[in-house]
Amino acid sequence: MDRSRASLALLATLAALTVAAASPAHLELKSPPEKQWHLQYLKATEAHALNQGENIIVAVLDTGVSPHPDLAGNLLKGADLIRGGHNGGRSDSSGHGTGMAGLIAATGRGGSTQGIAPQSKVLPVVVTPPDGRGDPDVLAEGINFATSHGAKVISISSVGGASPKLVQAIRTATAADITIVAAAGNRPEDAFVGYPAVEESVIAVGGTDRTGNHAAISVAGPEIDVVAPAVDIYSTGLNEGYRVGTGTSDATAIVAGAAALIRSKYPNLPAQEVAHRLTATAVDKGPPGRDDQYGYGVIDLVAALTADVPPLGFESSVVTPPASTAAGPGKGDDDSGTVRGLATLGVLVAAGGGYLFWRRRRRADDPPPRVSR
């Protein structure tokens, strides 16, 4: 089914508001395993034996990324589009962007954290000021910068509204075969899935708790594609320290890392097939098929890297499951222990029309193929 027109109309109605945002060699993780419970839940060790995100650049459009021992070697020079600084986005006023980067690409060598794609590279782009009240046009600049600087995945842990420039930047990135992942939003600040997650070409991410169930903080809606752990997520922080976050910001960074693994393992796979592989191999939750809380289900790292997934256009085909699967105990922005610094975007104009055919197909009444559990 298509995206909900009602949601987009509601975005337009709220155009004057500001919306709060959502938050092959194995590398030894030196911290107690319970700190990064999401790695065990998602069976990251099995996934890392298959791929670790080599040769993939993930753009983190956020508050910047502070240099951290756990990110050593994986932090590129990006851009600061807020302060116009010359540090290439490698400073962070709140710690939010640093936490997202760690969830994607921390190596584990610094001591305490490992990312979902520990051999990927992070391109830090500052699009959110310290007060968290951002501008959709600045986010558009960030997407354009990422598009022109080699990013294969763009991670946006924020929600807000659209502007003509932002809509065009997303379409340009999509046409450039870039996977865009965005947060759905956090309750109670957000009542519905925000922009840019509502865009048809963007993977909209909701959250689960430690038990694999829908996280109370996570917004639900017909736009949700997949969900990932979003509660008590331990990651890199400021001053070479660490943070604990809760929200769809964290879930988004985790899914961005999963997309990096897929793009590295299957370098010739188009972006729309990357999204299809994530949804087709997700562990179904809630009512059978896609639903508003879980989307197509909890991401499964190992299945996404190993399952025989028929290409788009063959959704009725059967997915051949891998020998073992990766999605935790069966079923599953940012309220941080050190910062509540989720990026925010001003709501301007709701985007309409222009939905991509491949996403309409993925949302048809005939759902994507499933890996049997």
Dmax (CA) of the chain: 51
- The residue with tokens 């079923």 is 331
Show Cβ contacts of residue 302 under 8 Å, excluding neighbours closer than 6 positions. Answer: 43, 46, 47, 50, 322, 324, 325, 326
Show Cβ contacts of residue 188 under 8 Å, excluding neighbours closer than 6 positions. Answer: none
Told to judge if 62 belongs to the known catalytic residues of this protein, a careful annotator would answer yes
Compute φ and ψ for 160, nearest 5 degrees. Answer: 180, -135
Annotated catalytic residue, options 7, 66, 249, 264: 249
For residues 57 and 151, what is the distance between their CA atoms, to the nearest angstrom?
Answer: 5
Told to judge if 300 belongs to the known catalytic residues of this protein, a careful annotator would answer no
Annotated catalytic residue, options 23, 62, 80, 284: 62
Told to judge if 249 belongs to the known catalytic residues of this protein, a careful annotator would answer yes
Annotated catalytic residue, options 96, 112, 158, 276: 96
Which helix (DSSP H) or strand (DSSP E) does residue 259 occupy? helix 248-265
Helices assigned H by DSSP within 266-356: 271-280, 301-306
For residues 77 and 39, what is the distance between their CA atoms, to the nearest angstrom?
Answer: 27
Annotated catalytic sites, by residue?
62, 96, 249
